Amino acid sequence: DLSKIDLLSARERLAQASAQLDQVNDNLSKTQVISPINGVITSLDIKVGETAIASSTNIPGSSLMTIANPASIYTEVLVDEADVANIEVGQRAEIVAIAYPDQPMQGVVRFIANTAKVAQGRQGLSFVVKIDIADPGAVILRPGMSCRAEIFTRQDQEVTAVPIQAIIFEEDRAELRSDYFIFVNDNGIAKKTKVEVGLSDDEYQELMSEIDENVEVVIGPNQQLRHLLEGDRLNATRVEQQ
């Protein structure tokens, strides 16, 4: 009888140990976090020994790491409100990373924001435009890198353009209105002229308004141009454009 009792007791201990082993194996399997995508770890926000808190509905957990997919790279650029009407999804773009100024990359416009935002250090409103980078080539891109992009719109005709420093932006927040002006040389007197603007690049601003092609536009010096008033006398120097 004692031997039977010992046998039953041993079987119970074995069953308990087996259940504990299953629990330990289950807990161990939950310590392995599998990424849903292939990629490169760009930031690691947790260290060995720290507790990882799982997330649930409406309750965020702890961030373990950020993974970027090298096969899906895009850049966000800010497009001025005067230019956004000419931007369309699917247009070709050329992107240049600041770290690789001599290695332009090709891209395609994927997304255009519906809501404008006020960008730090810029006048007026801008729209976020996302551009997919087709093939970075030898360029090693890292999240957060600065870049500039040139989007090629479907505009083949000749346009009237002035140096971008000649454009004066004035905003009336009380009336929610913004206007663009240039100063022209009217027989040695500064004449302030309101204009409608179109596309721009780093050097020139397109003018949608009709102006005399022979008119002389005041382009600087910038410090004096900011304080120039209607009717001020000009000491003009002609600048020949190539």
Say what the pLDDT of residue 18 is. 93
The answer for residues whose C-beta is within 8 angstroms of residue 111's C-beta and 6 or more apart is: 89, 128, 129, 130
- Residues 7, 179: Cα–Cα separation, whole Å: 94
Residues 91 and 144 in one domain: yes
Question: Is the same domain home to 135 and 110?
Answer: yes
- Evaluate whether residue 16 is within a structural domain: no
In 10 A of CB 169, how many CB atoms? 13
pTM over 0.85: no
Identify the pLDDT of residue 130.
95
Is the backbone peptide bond immediately before 221 cis, with ω within 30 degrees of 0? yes
- What gap in Å lies between CA 128 and CA 77, rounded to an integer? 6
Is residue 11 domain-resident? Answer: no
pLDDT of residue 123: 67
DSSP helix/strand/coil, 3: helix
In a domain, 44, yes or no: no
In a domain, 123, yes or no: yes
- Note whether 184 and 191 are within 8 A (CB): yes
Q: Is residue 31, in this structure, part of any structural domain at all? A: no
**Owning domain of residue 90:** 74-151
pLDDT tens-digit map of 100-155: 999 999 999 999 999 988 877 666 788 999 999 987 877 888 888 899 999 988 65
Q: Which of 15, 16, 46 is nearest to 31 (CA)?
A: 46
Query: Is 143 found in the same domain as 169?
Result: no
Stretches in the chain below the pLDDT threshold 70: 1, 54-62, 70-71, 121-123, 154-157, 172-177, 236-242
* Domains: count for the chain: 2
Q: What is the pLDDT of residue 59?
A: 59
Is there a domain that residue 87 lies in? yes
Residues 132 and 82 in one domain: yes
Same domain, 172 and 147: no
Q: What gap in Å lies between CA 123 and CA 97, rounded to an integer?
A: 23
Where residue 169 sits, what CATH number does that domain have? 2.40.420
Task: Write the CATH number for 144.
Answer: 2.40.30.170
